[in-house]
Structure 1
Amino acid sequence: MLSSRLAWSLALAMMAAGCSEPDTTPAVPPPPSFKGSTLTVGALGDPAILAGLAAHRGEWVATRGGEVVIRQEPIPSVDQVSSVDVLVFPGQELGNLVDAQALEAIPNEQVIPARKKRADEEPSRIEGEPAPAESPAESFKFTDIVPAYRDRVTRYGEDRMALPLGGSALVLVYRKDAFARPENVEAARAAGITLEPPETWTQLDRLAAFFQGRDWAGHGHAAHGLAAVLAADPEGVGDALFLARSASLGQHRNHFSFWFDSDAMKPRVDSPPFEEALAAITAWKSCGPPGCEKFDAASARAAFRDGKVAMLIDRAERAATWSGGSPVGVSRLPGSERVFEPLRNKWETPESPNAPSYLPAGGGWLVGVRRGLSDAQREAALDLARYLASPEISNRLRSEQTFAMLPVRSSQIGQGLPDPASSPDVDPRQWSDAVGRTLMADRVIPGLRIPEAAGYLNDVAEARLAALAGKAPGDALRELSTRWTARTKALGKHRQLWHYRRSLNTLSTASTPPARGQ
């Protein structure tokens, strides 16, 4: 009996083997070999971003046979980029790097797969033969990167100068209990206010004023409306907030340019949208706790976390700093019910709020390859850059606590908070929705990316702080425009105009910039 059962089992196994479906799983191509290559990776700016990269370099080393050296100290300036082969940098440094001819353009075929052939173009395969292996470009999943990063942030004119590692964006954070408490809902209704995330900045201003001085938590003492960065801030959140509100008022749907006149390089920062935004943000001094005019990013987060304010505006990637024991809601920043048309010097009222997204730090953090490497070294460096920005490694990097970044792939945005355990009170669905709507908006404005972008933004901070100290917003912005004009002249107006148009990715330019100083 046993032998007959065994024979029957063997027969079934042979029949199953004979009737199995052909294996159509794409073969996994062997990784390229870079044995003998040693690549140095460094960061322009904060080197904390390299901690995550250092933790995940082992797989590349094991599969490629090369070596990766992490430069621990930051690269202080573009002039010293020659000390590394692969460079991690904030997007606002892209103009400086292009001006110094420090980066190698990344060929599209390295990341964008070739057009797939139609079924009638495919050569017939022998039954059972595995499907063709994915190319490195196919495995990179380029189309999973949100358009703002694959079409704007990583490009400079027609050239792709880097690959995206992570992003940054501002969101509105709010205490759900303050918005849902029946007493607050009734009082708001009587005041003609709806307690829900605002669609316009005017609605946000009214909400902040409504909650100011109100016992919105039911704790028996008055609390406050809004925590926003108003003082000097090393993270640049206050400047980004001012520019985000200015963009909703000043980025018209028919224009690509926001910062300057793209034909004459004349600053627009002294125009009505910027003045209105600066006046409105400065007025938030009356909607926060005592001393809120001295808030940097850390102070604003602490005020929200401690339950002193009902709302906070902050970088979405800093969600781990918001939890204080009460449910936290998240919404994208509001838009404006009117927008300025610069050519006609006139305000318009669109059908829906004008809500372009502003991305700080030139959009986020990028990885590029230094120009001037040998052919073999360049191929290894391009492969490492592609590896670091790949779906698998970028997914791991976004979970690192040492350096917070937003995911820039749509599949990862939908996964919610990168580390839910560190943000137990934050609504993960609302966080994903706010980040997705911000990064995938129809119109996205990456932060300034021309040469000396940091200097121009420092000028913005000075003007913003002057208005906070009591100077009329219009006067502060006219002084800002004067400083920008002088800075542009010192760097070369025509060269800066070339860079500005190039940085917009939409306007025609010559292939090379004018000579320095022109």
Structure 2
Amino acid sequence: MMPNESLPARCVAGLPLAIGAIVLLGCRQGPDDQEDAGAAPPQGTSFALLVVDDPELARVIRQWETEWHGQTGFGYQVSELDGEEFAASVDLDADIVICPSYLWGPLAEDGRIVPMPLGLIKDDAGRLSEVFSLLRVREAAWGSRVFAVPFGSPVLICYWRRDIFERLGCQPPETWLEYGALAERLASHGRSGVAKAEAEWYGTIEPLGPGWAGIMLLARAAPYVTHRELFSALFDLETMKPLVAGPPFVQALEELAASAAWGPPEQIQYDPQQVRAAFWQGRAAMAVSWPSAAAEASAPAETMRIGLARLPGSPQVFNFLDDSWEARQEDEQRWVPLLGAAGRAGVVTAGCSWPEAAFQLLLWLSGPELSRQVSTASRNTTLFRRSHLGFPQDWVEEPLGPEVAAEYAALTEETLSGQERLFALRIPGRTQYLDALDRAVRRVQAGQAAPQEALEQAAVEWEEIT
């Protein structure tokens, strides 16, 4: 659907008409949300909408401004900023910000953004109830209030060559130990009969480039550190002492280094997009990334049958309270997603004069119908609503095909509807914390330090940042 085409009647008659109700009635002022009250915007109002670190998303949001104005009488003007400039900015010169999911936490902590009006949540505006629960209840919340409108938040998953696995009698790995053993076996025996013998071939490829090595370490550590009795897996909340030099992180780094030996040397410069591209070039039997219809997808270098699986989990979890490993209980999931590695979310700034109307705009852009046009333009999002399950190919690269796309949609729903999760740091200093983990991974890969030593140095750096 192009922006100059009419939206479905249920969309036209939904949020835009709700905006009209705000104009006539003003914001709700029930007993539970007096703080949410605000003046209704006059006709002709134009919101300043800032998009951070996502040119593709900014481009498509601009295209829908005429449609929004026609339905509501309000407009919006889109501006852009890169992530570093945004994180360093003192004043938010915008009414609305759409940014990486991990960037808005400090804004909520500092009171620079406002929570969503409770009336919108109670009324299920924008059909928020169909957003996958980990995004709606966890990633969009700060403390006890919802601050953000999700635009999609991909989690790292494992691509695997179904054709090669079947030939060798392998199954997708259930644990990171199995993953490492598979990477070695596939590097040694997976190439035979697949492509040109002289081509480069590896057991696996992971995103270990700048800003991603630390993310990959956290993704591997997630099932080891998310204990049911601990609120924080990264810091001791009583002392604020970093926990990243503890046994579960050391084990995760040991396993990462062992697996990395079966990947290409240049993966130390790769992000998830580059990993995915290398996988489609036929260079490896496994890869860690996520699907995207927005990224350029070259035709596969060879005939490939692909499977997708969640990242490995763990039947054991580390308890920092008594410094010991424990078996997970039977009702606990072994697979723990890392949230906030990418993703996009919309927030409303404290300086916005009409916060409820601003949230309505965000809910319109991310709603059931329009999100298939808007969020799919970004490489940093993925499906995030139950209604998206019927259109899985909107969200994946074409070579995956409809069957695997449907598998990915089901996998994403299951992953983002669970209870367990680990956040990839959405606190002030995130870049510096991840840089410290990047350096730890790099030192171990280069043989300059053992995992324990490297993480002890990272913990010292974390204490200095904190």
TM-score with structure 2 length normalisation? 0.83
Specify which of 103, 110, 117 is matched with residue 93 of structure 1: 103
Specify which of 447, 462, 465 is matched with residue 484 of structure 1: 462
Q: Tell me whether 1:390 sits opposite 2:367 in the alignment.
A: yes
Distance in 1 (CA, whole Å) between partners of 2:191 and 2:77 is 53
1:200 counterpart residue number: 175
Q: Tell me whether 1:261 sits opposite 2:239 in the alignment.
A: no
Aligned 1:20-39 pairs, distance under 5 A:
28=13, 30-33=17-20, 34-39=42-47
Aligned 1:33-432 pairs, distance under 5 A:
33=20, 34-74=42-82, 76-78=85-87, 79=89, 81-113=91-123, 137-138=124-125, 140-181=126-167, 184-185=168-169, 195-218=170-193, 219=195, 221=197, 223-230=201-208, 232-233=209-210, 236-289=211-264, 291-293=266-268, 295-317=270-292, 321=297, 324=300, 325-350=303-328, 354-361=334-341, 364-374=343-353, 377-400=354-377, 402-413=378-389, 415-419=391-395, 422-425=398-401, 427-432=404-409
- The change in CA–CA distance for 1:180 and 1:474 in structure 2 (over 3 A counts) is same
Distance in 2 (CA, whole Å) between partners of 1:93 and 1:72 is 15
Q: What is the CA-CA distance between 1:80 and the residue it aligns to?
A: 5.0
- CA contact under 8 A between 1:92 and 1:447: conserved in structure 2? yes
Distance in 2 (CA, whole Å) between partners of 1:92 and 1:28 is 33
Q: Deviations over 1:51-74 (max 9, x none)?
A: 221222332111111121111444
Q: What is the CA-CA distance between 1:164 and the residue it aligns to?
A: 0.7
Distance in 2 (CA, whole Å) between partners of 1:240 and 1:414 is 31
- CA contact under 8 A between 1:42 and 1:88: conserved in structure 2? yes
Over the matched positions of the two proteins, sequence identity in percent amounts to 26
- The change in CA–CA distance for 1:102 and 1:348 in structure 2 (over 3 A counts) is same
1:475 counterpart residue number: 453
Distance in 1 (CA, whole Å) between partners of 2:82 and 2:283 is 37
Q: What is the CA-CA distance between 1:28 and the residue it aligns to?
A: 4.5
1:462 counterpart residue number: 439
SS at match of 1:110: helix
- CA contact under 8 A between 2:220 and 2:252: conserved in structure 1? yes
- CA contact under 8 A between 2:292 and 2:397: conserved in structure 1? no
* Stretches of structure 1 lacking an aligned partner (at least 5 in a row): 1-24, 114-136, 186-194, 489-518
- CA contact under 8 A between 2:310 and 2:335: conserved in structure 1? no
Q: What is the CA-CA distance between 1:39 and the residue it aligns to?
A: 0.8
Distance in 2 (CA, whole Å) between partners of 1:454 and 1:36 is 39
SS at match of 1:242: helix
- CA contact under 8 A between 1:92 and 1:454: conserved in structure 2? no
Distance in 1 (CA, whole Å) between partners of 2:175 and 2:299 is 26
Q: Deviations over 1:455-508 (max 9, x none)?
A: 2222221222222222111111111111111111xxxxxxxxxxxxxxxxxxxx
Distance in 2 (CA, whole Å) between partners of 1:241 and 1:267 is 18
- The change in CA–CA distance for 1:268 and 1:319 in structure 2 (over 3 A counts) is farther
- The change in CA–CA distance for 1:162 and 1:296 in structure 2 (over 3 A counts) is closer
Q: Deviations over 1:25-78 (max 9, x none)?
A: 9x9473534522011111233444312212223321111111211114447235
- CA contact under 8 A between 1:178 and 1:217: conserved in structure 2? no
Distance in 2 (CA, whole Å) between partners of 1:433 and 1:228 is 23
Q: What is the CA-CA distance between 1:290 and the residue it aligns to?
A: 5.5
Q: What is the CA-CA distance between 1:424 and the residue it aligns to?
A: 4.2
RMSD value over aligned CA atoms?
2.7
- The change in CA–CA distance for 1:459 and 1:413 in structure 2 (over 3 A counts) is farther
Q: Deviations over 1:107-155 (max 9, x none)?
A: 1211332xxxxxxxxxxxxxxxxxxxxxxx45x2121011111111111
Q: What is the CA-CA distance between 1:429 and the residue it aligns to?
A: 2.5
- CA contact under 8 A between 2:164 and 2:190: conserved in structure 1? no
Distance in 2 (CA, whole Å) between partners of 1:314 and 1:421 is 12
Q: Deviations over 1:135-178 (max 9, x none)?
A: xx45x212101111111111110122111111120000011110
Q: Larger Rg: 1 or 2?
A: 1
Distance in 1 (CA, whole Å) between partners of 2:396 and 2:464 is 47
1:443 counterpart residue number: 420
Q: What is the CA-CA distance between 1:201 and the residue it aligns to?
A: 1.3
Aligned 1:492-507 pairs, distance under 5 A:
none
SS at match of 2:228: coil
Distance in 2 (CA, whole Å) between partners of 1:299 and 1:450 is 27
SS at match of 1:42: strand
SS at match of 2:157: strand
Greater mean alpha carbon deviation, residues 45-54 or residues 475-484: 45-54
* Stretches of structure 2 lacking an aligned partner (at least 5 in a row): 1-9, 21-41
The one-letter code sitting in structure 2 at the alignment partner of 1:66 is F
The one-letter code sitting in structure 1 at the alignment partner of 2:459 is S
- CA contact under 8 A between 2:108 and 2:114: conserved in structure 1? no
- The change in CA–CA distance for 1:101 and 1:291 in structure 2 (over 3 A counts) is closer
- The change in CA–CA distance for 1:32 and 1:319 in structure 2 (over 3 A counts) is closer
Distance in 1 (CA, whole Å) between partners of 2:395 and 2:223 is 31
- CA contact under 8 A between 2:206 and 2:288: conserved in structure 1? yes
- The change in CA–CA distance for 1:31 and 1:442 in structure 2 (over 3 A counts) is closer
The one-letter code sitting in structure 2 at the alignment partner of 1:472 is A
Superposition misfits of 4+ residues, deviation over 6 angstroms = none
TM-score with structure 1 length normalisation? 0.75
- The change in CA–CA distance for 1:205 and 1:484 in structure 2 (over 3 A counts) is same
Q: Deviations over 1:2-39 (max 9, x none)?
A: xxxxxxxxxxxxxxxxxxxxxxx9x9473534522011
